[in-house]
Structure 1
Amino acid sequence: MRIGFLDCFAGMSSSRFIGALASAGVPEQILQDAVDALDIGARLELMHVKRSNIATIKAYISFDISENGLNFSHDFLRSFQDEKVNNKQLLGTIQALISNASLPVKAKKLILETFQNLAEAQAKISGLPIEEISFHEIKALNTIVGVTVCCVACVWLKIDQWYVSPLNVGSGIKKDSKGFLPIPTPVTLELLGNEVLIYASGPQKELLTPTCAALLKALKTSYQPCPPILISRIGYGGGRMEYDNLPNFLRLCVGTTTKGKNTQSVIGEIVIVEAEFAKSSQDALIELQTHLYANGAKFVYTVPIYSVFNQMTDKVVIFCLPEHADEMRRFLFQRLKTAYVHWRIEKYENLIHYDENVNTPWGKIKVIVGQLLNNQIVSVVPDKTTCRSIAKAHDLSTVEIEETVKRLFFSGKS
């Protein structure tokens, strides 16, 4: 499982993220191609600068400017400049620009989701429909270019799961086109949600932009502790200036989970869908389960139900991710002709599992270790076949061998 860990001790901006991605090995040509694909006269410059005596890459976005200013011959730029264009049209114009650009499909989806997140958060905070909000967060052209480059680079890295440290959001007051706002802004907090650890340290200014908060949400970033990883790449994205009391750069670590670990180790939500239907043959039940697994079910089982009238029915129970729940319910209604379907959302957590060898008086014995995302080890299971074989050879009980292996495992960790 490929992990991306963002260390946001100085917050996060799209320019620092681009610099960190480039520093971590994303080819400059990939980034330049993303800029060129927009075809709006934008330029990306990557500069090597030092921040707190650390070599970083600073990204700078500019635009081709004629004697009369920006060249607004492009339909998108004309719409962007036109003050009469309302914000719903502006969002639609951006969506059309991204949809028509020669960008990877996954990157397009990520970009569009980022701007949709931003619009929905602004609408909720303003208490207005999207078409009536003051969508000033995307009134800067470099915001659109920055998000595009970040998303293309993220897709190129092929990260399976993003993690982020507690976020330094900054503090103070900022001025925008509508007045003054506290830092972090209400839009930023709305995008982060209620399960994110934030704090303020360093200069009194905005360290985490709303755009990056929207991007983190689109990346399905986990704010749980990052699992143990083997780091393969490290990138440093430099900010515009040096701070007296804060290293102004974003650190990106890319790596993989330790060999042998279960890649499904997450805390999240699962939907449980249940339905009763007429008693079916074994072949029909197998066919039902096969179809459900093929369409996104994580786990399926059926049980017989006996009613008070001595009538027999079957009950199917499906565990699936939230994005597959609608399809599961629709299928059950159509296929089973049932009158009702029950469903509920529950929290779940999977252990991280990995193998480890323990040195014992009888040689090395493999154990399977179960670990929570906070690195706490909660189970150690010695290989039972090996333990039984050793117990038989030395006239000992299998339980005694297993307990000795566990004790030696934990003594080696202390």
Structure 2
Amino acid sequence: MKTLIFDPFSGASGDMMLGTLISLGADQNIVRETIESTADVSVAIDKVNKKGIMAVDVDIIVAQESHSKHYHEIVDIVLNAKLPKQVEKDVLQVFEILAKAESKIHGKTLEELHFHEVGQNDAIADIVGSCTAIRNLGPEEVLCTPINVGGGLVKAAHGLLPVPAPATLEILKEGGLSFYGNGKREMLTPTGAALLSYYSKSIECIPHGKAISIGYGAGKADIDNPNVLRSMMLDVDEPIATDLVEVLETNVDDVTGEVLGNLFDKLLKMGAKDVAIIPATMKKGRPGSIIKVITRPEDSPKIAREIIRETGSLGIRVLPTKHRFVANRKINTIDVDIGGQTVQCRIKVAEDKNGEIMHISAEYDDCKELSLSTGFPLKEIIRKVEETSWVTYLKN
């Protein structure tokens, strides 16, 4: 799978996005022509050395100073630019992400919203150019490693505020992107955040694959470390998705089955991905249990605390886990004939990244209700539902 990966160890901005995508192989003539036909700017593309790394530097030269624009003005500019339909859609949605964040921060409707920095011609050029470049590269998937947002203070309409800026933080939250702070200045701009949020899915580590091309886009500031946005196009050869998990484990004794059963249900409701309670023989021959929980790293502290509260355990082990392989799962409903009557039953479908079906299982609760209402044995209901599901999916 042709996968575009952004690796923003030094943050991201609109011009850095443009630079890294051109460095990666996007057609700079197409990008330049599209930008210059949309905004009243000219585009200069060069290479610069940023602390020992050669990177593409994109300079948006504004023909004349323009006033900052209202959101509806930007929408009109994009609609009148006659961009390719997919690029037009992308640009409008990136600006919508920015607009919704600003709207929430300032307490104004989209109709009232007045952009400042992102309403200038150079910001419009950055977004139009980046959207054009990504479509030109044509990745099948776009991923993003955790983003360095920087540190210190940033000048905002409300005065000096901690990094990340309010709009940037709102975009990160809505986009579900992983980030961290390292540095003494703002490293991630709202424009960079909006582009990454719109196109990419957050990952904790780079997937297994072979590099097709590598790009570096230069930021304008000179800092202690290379101020570049790295990107890479990978031929990813793992069709099964991965996610990051931690395994929590503890041994307990003198805990009743009722307490363990209640803990089992409670941990699942708190977000644990899986819970196992395994009978064990403890020291001095006492009967006990091993509690093992698979959870997201960010949920580990609250899960561990609840285990201690409920069982009296004095310590929870965190087993080192890089990541796990997971199938993409979805719930569908299928029509099935049971005793001459057509009924509906939910099924779980597991697929790899390419959409190939790996497994189908009947939803237990639905099958149990069908067994009670029809009188057929539960195992027959499950068998019939799964056989019908496979036949239906193979036909499609």
Match of 2:343 in 1: 314
Aligned 8 A contact 2:71 2:113 in 1 = no
- Write out aligned runs for 1:201-280 (5 A): 201-202=182-183, 204-244=184-224, 246-258=225-237, 261-262=238-239, 265=241
Q: CA deviation at 1:92?
A: 1.7
Higher alpha-carbon deviation: 28-37 or 2-11: 28-37
Q: Deviations over 1:262-310 (max 9, x none)?
A: 2x7377xxxxxxxxxxxxxxxxxxxxxxxxxxxxx9965323468xxxx
Question: Which ranges in structure 2 are unaligned for 5 or more consecutive residues?
Answer: 244-329, 360-396
Pick one of 306, 316, 336 that aligns with 1:303.
336
- SS where residue 230 of structure 1 aligns? strand
Change (3 A) 1:33 1:101: same
Aligned 8 A contact 1:137 1:210 in 2 = no
Pick one of 193, 199, 208 that aligns with 2:180.
199
- SS where residue 5 of structure 1 aligns? strand
Q: CA deviation at 1:349?
A: 7.5
Aligned 8 A contact 1:98 1:112 in 2 = yes
Match of 1:183 in 2: 163
**Structure-1-length-normalised TM-score:** 0.59
Match of 1:17 in 2: 17
- Write out aligned runs for 1:34-45 (5 A): 34-38=34-38, 40-45=39-44
Match of 1:338 in 2: none
Distance across 2 between alignment mates of 1:8 and 1:312 = 57
Distance across 2 between alignment mates of 1:120 and 1:4 = 26
Structure 1 letter corresponding to 2:32: Q
Aligned 8 A contact 1:8 1:167 in 2 = yes
Q: CA deviation at 1:14?
A: 1.1
**Structure-2-length-normalised TM-score:** 0.61
Structure 1 letter corresponding to 2:343: D
Q: CA deviation at 1:249?
A: 0.6
Q: Deviations over 1:12-38 (max 9, x none)?
A: 011111111111111220111111221
Structure 2 letter corresponding to 1:196: L
Change (3 A) 1:36 1:137: closer
Change (3 A) 1:220 1:349: farther
Q: CA deviation at 1:155?
A: 0.5
Match of 2:51 in 1: 52
Match of 1:107 in 2: 87
Question: Which ranges in structure 1 are unaligned for 5 or more consecutive residues?
Answer: 71-76, 82-86, 268-296, 320-347, 354-368, 371-414
Change (3 A) 1:193 1:177: closer
- SS where residue 343 of structure 2 aligns? strand
- Write out aligned runs for 1:168-179 (5 A): 168-179=148-159
Aligned 8 A contact 1:14 1:146 in 2 = yes
Structure 2 letter corresponding to 1:57: V
Distance across 2 between alignment mates of 1:250 and 1:32 = 20
Distance across 1 between alignment mates of 2:18 and 2:207 = 24
Q: CA deviation at 1:196?
A: 3.2
Identity of aligned residues (%): 29
Change (3 A) 1:299 1:177: closer
Q: CA deviation at 1:241?
A: 3.3
- SS where residue 143 of structure 2 aligns? strand
Q: CA deviation at 1:181?
A: 2.3
Distance across 1 between alignment mates of 2:170 and 2:50 = 31
- SS where residue 130 of structure 1 aligns? coil
Structure 1 letter corresponding to 2:129: V
Q: CA deviation at 1:222?
A: 3.1
Aligned 8 A contact 1:168 1:200 in 2 = yes
Structure 2 letter corresponding to 1:301: I
Aligned 8 A contact 1:3 1:229 in 2 = no
2:31 is the alignment partner of 1:31: yes
- Write out aligned runs for 1:138-153 (5 A): 138-153=118-133
Q: Deviations over 1:67-117 (max 9, x none)?
A: xxx4xxxxxx6xx56xxxxx7xx2122112112213221111111000001
Change (3 A) 1:241 1:126: closer
Distance across 1 between alignment mates of 2:331 and 2:241 = 14
Q: CA deviation at 1:179?
A: 2.4
Change (3 A) 1:143 1:247: same
